[in-house]
Structure 1
């Protein structure tokens, strides 16, 4: 018997993406990274930062603040998506601009700091955080394109649906289908 595939796990544009295994994995990975980073920054990172040379110490302070902010935004987005899934928040509320995840500035580039005084385990956390944040920004864009829920059809998707309907009716007239959208 063939294994059933979760269709939402393949395409973040599916309205039930938050019910997918992919979302569950992103959620677990994201929240795990938040916890791991907080433990590092409050423990070994704090102790280590006191012994850094001046330039590396300044970079560490700035980056750790950006890292914390980024991870809190990511965690907030993940929790919001779970609230949508569980019915505690409507998709319409989730469409609001204040909940969108976008990158305003350039990402931190830990590869340029390697060998310049910052510990590798800190730079690894920065890299993981940047990857998570970028992934969430892409998911957000796919789910909430231009303020529309992904279940609202784009012009292309409307045309595809019209073509399917015309084919099912047996009266397929491409000029009628495409002519109506001009």
Structure 2
């Protein structure tokens, strides 16, 4: 469970940064990735998956579920930030909904058997979704979104250790 201080950090980011050009760019890129992935999985990806050998097809199926889950969570986070900024939701509503979002959907290790057999377009979508997730997690943990779309972390050794513990024990 997230404590009150964490909520205050997130809301402070939201109210200050969600209207920035950098957030607008992140939002656009994130939602475009969701649309691109959906289109790929429904068409080209479906055809490419049929051509895979059994082990690679199983990996593709598992990884595509992780990919879609990751992107749905990221889209939810982006939409909440935008809704807060536009006044569609109150800070309390955003806090409540944000507690349901998970920003820790991992992917298979690239060294796993059959990873290299997966379609290049598919693995590129996975890589890009992981990059977006890392960016959103950094921002959500108190990092600043820079005007060029990059992000900068605010060094906080205690928060870093807490995040490491959360990751190690699978806590939210």
Q: For the superposition of Structure 1 and Structure 2, which TM-score range results when normalised by the shorter chain?
A: 0.5 to 0.7
- Pairwise CA RMSD of aligned residues? 2.2
Where does residue 107 of structure 2 map in the other structure? 108
1:1-182 mapped onto 2 (5 Å cutoff): 13=13, 15-96=15-96, 98-103=99-104, 107-109=106-108, 111-112=110-111, 116-142=116-142
Q: TM-score, normalised by structure 2?
A: 0.68
Contact 1:101 1:137 in 2 (8 A): no
Choose 1 or 2 for highest CA Rg.
1
**CA distance in structure 2 between the partners assigned to 1:98 and 1:128 by the alignment:** 24
Asked if the contact 2:67/2:126 (under 8 Å) is kept, the reply is yes
Q: 1:136 to 1:101 in 2, by over 3 A?
A: farther
TM-score (norm 1): 0.64
Contact 1:49/1:57, CA 8 A, preserved across alignment: yes
Relative contact order: is structure 1 or structure 2 higher (C-alpha 8 Å, sep ≥ 6)? 2
Any stretches of 5+ residues in structure 2 without a counterpart? 1-11, 144-172
Query: Secondary structure at 2:116's aligned position in 1?
Result: coil
**Unaligned 5+ residue runs, structure 1?**
1-11, 144-182
For residues 81 and 70 of structure 2, the distance between their equivalents in structure 1, rounded to whole angstroms, comes to: 17
Q: How far apart in 1 are the matches of 2:79 and 2:54?
A: 37
Separation in 1, partners of 2:84, 2:102: 16
Displacement, 1:93? 2.2
- Once the two structures are superposed, what CA deviation does each residue of 1:112-163 show, in whole Å capped at 9, x if it has no partner? 36863111111000000111112112212217xxxxxxxxxxxxxxxxxxxx
The residue that corresponds to 1:168 in the other structure is: none
Number of residue equivalences? 130
